[in-house]
């Protein structure tokens, strides 16, 4: 039996992603975003929604670029911290002891210690309501060499991304392999 729980922003899984930007002065900033997802295959694009009030919002509008950094489980504390404080007030990366690296592809920094990063140039800013969605064209993806699997693609079991449960506000890890996509359904 289904119960109405109201118009809430709940889907599972929701990602935990850290957005990297430069401010006007060239100071690197990072903030955590969960309202995000891949939104196009060609050109390859990711959508990231931010509130106008965030420091990162102005940075993306200014620089027309951002990175999307995927934290691993062992950086859950840092990823949470990046969503709590504002880059206006503090240098979050210094405080967390993490290292910004200037992208050679777009005008934005990425986090050296995180396993996977998407380097994006701003394609569209979509006004929705409280949030503006930045659609970024993925210019390149970089992964730590030891996070790659046999197929030279990132191995999710090595990357160990974080899953966010909205409303109940909890983080989870990635679980067991369930099967191959575009394959297990053929048995139906």
Beta strand 14-15 pairing with 36-40 = unpaired
* Residue that the structure tokens 């989870």 belong to: 172
List 86, 88, 91, 95, residue binding a copy of itself (CB under 8 A): 95
Tell which positions 121-150 bind a copy of itself, by CB under 8 A.
123-124, 126, 128-131, 133, 135, 137-145, 148-149
* Residue that the structure tokens 């931010």 belong to: 50
Is residue 118 part of the contact set for a copy of itself (CB under 8 A)? yes
Is residue 89 part of the contact set for a copy of itself (CB under 8 A)? no
Are 58 and 19 spatial neighbours (Cβ–Cβ below 8 Å)?
no
List 23, 39, 61, 99, residue binding a copy of itself (CB under 8 A): 39
List 30, 79, 93, 108, residue binding a copy of itself (CB under 8 A): 79
Tell which positions 157-186 bind a copy of itself, by CB under 8 A.
157, 159, 161-186
Q: How many residues bind a copy of itself (CB under 8 A)?
A: 106
**Exposed (0-12), middle (13-18) or buried (19+): which is 30, by Cβ within 10 Å?**
buried
CA distance 36 to 68: 10
């Amino acid at each position: 039996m289904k119960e109405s729980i109201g118009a809430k922003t709940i889907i599972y899984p929701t990602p935990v992603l850290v957005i990297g930007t430069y401010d006007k002065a060239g100071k690197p900033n990072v903030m955590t975003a969960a309202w995000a997802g891949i939104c196009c295959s060609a050109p390859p694009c990711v959508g990231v929604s931010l509130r106008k009030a965030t420091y990162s919002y102005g940075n993306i509008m200014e620089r027309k670029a951002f990175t999307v950094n995927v934290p691993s489980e062992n950086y859950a504390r840092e990823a949470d911290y990046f969503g709590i404080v504002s880059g206006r007030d503090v240098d979050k990366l210094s405080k967390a002891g993490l290292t910004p690296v200037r992208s050679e592809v777009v005008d934005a920094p990425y986090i050296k210690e995180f396993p996977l990063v998407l380097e994006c140039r701003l394609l569209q800013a979509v006004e929705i309501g409280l949030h503006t969605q930045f659609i970024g064209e993925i210019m390149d993806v970089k992964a730590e060499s030891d996070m790659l699997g046999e197929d030279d693609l990132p191995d999710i079991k090595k990357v160990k991304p974080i899953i966010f449960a909205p409303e109940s506000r909890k983080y989870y890890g990635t679980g067991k392999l369930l099967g191959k996509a575009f394959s297990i359904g053929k048995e139906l």
